[in-house]
């Protein structure tokens, strides 16, 4: 059985880096638009184009423009709950076992609901779906004077930590608003013992990764540009801070031209804790299986290496040890189905 068929069959994938607003399907967008009383184009093709980045996207800033429509469709508790529910149902149908879904509650308060209401609504959607998922709450770097909102997001993370929320994040236009402007976010999170991941080393270079790790980040969103510098790569190795690699998204935002340009093997050979996620299922028109299929084809990954990447994700998850053990058991059972192939590949 070839790797492609095995990836298609496996039911033990994990997403550590997945944005709720970047993962609204056409079908879900229509349901949300009904709730929000927003008129969408009748043609599904046209709507898909509105949710998906174009092939000539030039950078992360242009990529981020695709979030305005889905964010506008999620401005009430009912629509946020529905969006989270729909995404979880889709993840379940894709054969995933666990996901950490992120969103920025402060972007969903335009019609007057509070950040806390937005968080509770998303949690309720996850719970109703029955899918094993937690929330990462994103603080935003978007040029507005939002330090008050960001600090509220960190405090909300602490309040709901272990109750469906597992960490916070810093998201947005990295190149325009570097980590150095948001040290207060990291300090607050550290003070409250809240785990955090930081989008770094995507639009900006390796310095951004060093800055995030040195400021206590527990994971790095993307982090791929650490490969540009020996010191940054060594720091990832020594600290074992996992990186959340999102291949298609990196091509969309022109970090790399081709999937084979992503320094996946470099990091794996070095011993860096590499995990794989899809970032935005609708904006990047992808899903986790697609990401693994692309990597397997570009790097001729063995079954052993696929398993290693999946196990890395479980180990890097913001969850407790007993939950990780349960997830590892699913991984073992799933790969057990291919033990013949597995042993063969191991030689």
Active-site residue numbers? 202
Name the segment binding Zn ion (CB under 5 A); options: 34-42, 70-78, 150-158, 272-280. 272-280
What CA–CA distance (Å, rounded) separates 167 from 100?
9
Query: Which residues in the 275-304 window bind Zn ion by CB under 5 A?
Result: 279
Alpha carbons 189 and 179: distance in angstroms, whole number: 14
Q: Judged by CB, which is closer to Zn ion: 35, or 69?
A: 69
Nearer to Zn ion, 86 or 250 (CB): 250
Is the Cβ of residue 211 or residue 279 nearer to Zn ion in the bound state?
A: 279
Dihedral of CA atoms 251, 253, 256, 257 in degrees, nearest 10, equals 60
**Closest to Zn ion by CB, 97 or 283:** 283
Residue 82 Cβ, how far from Zn ion at the closest point, in Å?
22
CB crowding 129-166: b at 16 or more within 10 Å, else e: bebbbbbbbbbbbeeeebeebbbbbbbbbbebbeebbb
Number of residues that bind Zn ion (CB under 5 A): 1
Contact 21, 103 (CB under 8 A): yes
CB of 93 to Zn ion, least distance (A): 23
Closest separation in Å from C-beta 279 to Zn ion = 5
Instruction: Extract the tokens encoding 8.
Output: 């298609």
137: closest CA among 115, 169, 160, 161? 169
Residue closest to Zn ion, measured at CB: 279
* Residue number, 79 or 280, with CB nearest to Zn ion: 280
What would the x/- binding string for Zn ion be over residues 221 to 260, using CB under 5 A? ----------------------------------------
Q: What is the rounded CA–CA span in Å between residue 183 and residue 67?
A: 25
Considering the complex, what minimum distance in angstroms separates the CB of residue 204 from Zn ion? 14
Stretch that binds Zn ion, among 44-52, 147-155, 271-279, 288-296 (CB under 5 A): 271-279
Which residues are CB-neighbours of 294 under 8 A, at least 6 positions away? Answer: 247, 248, 259
CB of 334 to Zn ion, least distance (A): 26
* Residue pair 7/289 in contact by the 8 Å Cβ criterion: yes
Binding footprint of Zn ion on the chain (CB under 5 A): 279
């Amino acid at each position: 059985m070839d790797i492609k068929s095995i990836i298609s069959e496996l039911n033990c994938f994990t997403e550590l880096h997945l944005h709720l607003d970047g993962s609204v399907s056409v079908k879900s967008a229509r349901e949300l638009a009904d709730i929000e009383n927003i008129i969408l184009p009748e043609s599904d093709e046209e709507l898909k184009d509105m949710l998906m980045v174009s092939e000539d996207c030039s950078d992360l800033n242009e990529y981020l423009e695709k979030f305005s429509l889905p964010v506008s469709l999620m401005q009430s508790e009912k629509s946020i709950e529905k969006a989270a529910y729909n995404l979880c149902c889709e993840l379940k149908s894709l054969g995933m076992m666990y996901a950490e879904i992120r969103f920025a509650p402060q972007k969903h308060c335009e019609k007057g609901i509070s950040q806390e209401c937005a968080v509770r609504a998303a949690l309720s959607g996850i719970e109703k779906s029955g899918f094993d998922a937690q929330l990462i709450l994103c603080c935003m770097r978007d040029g507005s004077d939002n330090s008050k909102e960001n600090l509220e997001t960190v405090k909300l993370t602490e309040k709901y930590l272990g109750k469906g929320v597992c960490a916070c994040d810093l998201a947005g236009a990295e190149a325009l608003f570097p980590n150095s402007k948001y040290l207060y976010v990291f300090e607050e999170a550290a003070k409250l013992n809240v785990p955090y991941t930081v989008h770094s080393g995507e639009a900006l270079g390796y310095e951004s990764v060093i800055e995030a790790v040195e400021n206590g980040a527990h994971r790095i969103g993307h982090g791929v540009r650490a490969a540009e510098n020996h010191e940054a790569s060594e720091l990832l190795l020594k600290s074992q801070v996992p990186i959340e690699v999102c291949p298609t998204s990196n091509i969309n935002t022109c970090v790399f031209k081709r999937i084979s340009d992503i320094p996946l093997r470099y990091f794996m050979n070095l011993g860096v804790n590499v995990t794989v996620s899809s970032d935005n299922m609708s904006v990047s028109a992808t899903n986790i299986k697609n990401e693994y299929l692309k990597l397997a084809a570009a790097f001729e990954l063995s079954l052993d290496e696929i398993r290693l990447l999946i196990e890395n994700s479980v180990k890097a998850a913001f969850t407790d040890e007993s939950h990780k053990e349960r997830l590892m058991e699913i991984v073992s059972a799933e790969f057990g189905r291919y033990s013949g192939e597995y042993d063969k590949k191991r030689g």
